[in-house]
Amino acid sequence: MDALGELYSELILEHYTHPRNYGDLPGADRVEEGYNQSCGDRVVLLLKLRDGRIEDIRFRGYGCAISIASASLMTEHLKGRTIQEARAFAQEFKDFVTGKREKLSPTLGPLALFRGVGRFPMRVKCATLPWHTLSLALEEKDASYEEEVT
């Protein structure tokens, strides 16, 4: 498969057309919004935290297939995880799609399909938007998204 074909793999399209954990989350503890200016993707993350864990997670928003599929797959991998694990996953995924990291740990296995985006800098922002929004939701707001990925 060529790089672009790899980008829009079946799984990405499937998550794009049927996003998991999409919708409202009444009683959410954290609500964070992320916007990717270069593509127009917007993601709103809603988190319910309990005892240092992500008890529940949903997202809303709109955007390209890459950003929506990334958000959908991300939420699938985060439910029940500790906040610390979630932060580590976010870093791992960002390092992976930007080429700083060769492989993903088995836990994040299916997310390896985003490898192809590394060849398309514009698409890297789409794939990392949900994860960046997650980092903001879980940490102090000190880093700007634009600064981080350019």
Q: Footprint of Zn ion on this chain (CB under 5 A)?
A: 39, 41, 63-64, 67, 126
| Distance, C-alpha 134 to centroid of its chain | 7
Closer CB to Zn ion, residue 7 or residue 49?
7
Closer CB to Zn ion, residue 69 or residue 126?
126
Q: How far is the CB of 121 from Zn ion (least distance, A)?
A: 12
Task: Give the start-end residues of each E strand in 3-98.
Answer: 30-36, 41-50, 53-62
Q: How far is the CB of 38 from Zn ion (least distance, A)?
A: 8
Closer CB to Zn ion, residue 28 or residue 63?
63
Closer CB to Zn ion, residue 91 or residue 120?
120
Rounded-to-integer distance, Cα 140 and Cα 8, Å: 33
| Distance, C-alpha 4 to centroid of its chain | 20
Q: How far is the CB of 123 from Zn ion (least distance, A)?
A: 7
The token duo for 27 is 């009683």
- What single-letter amino acid sits at 124? V
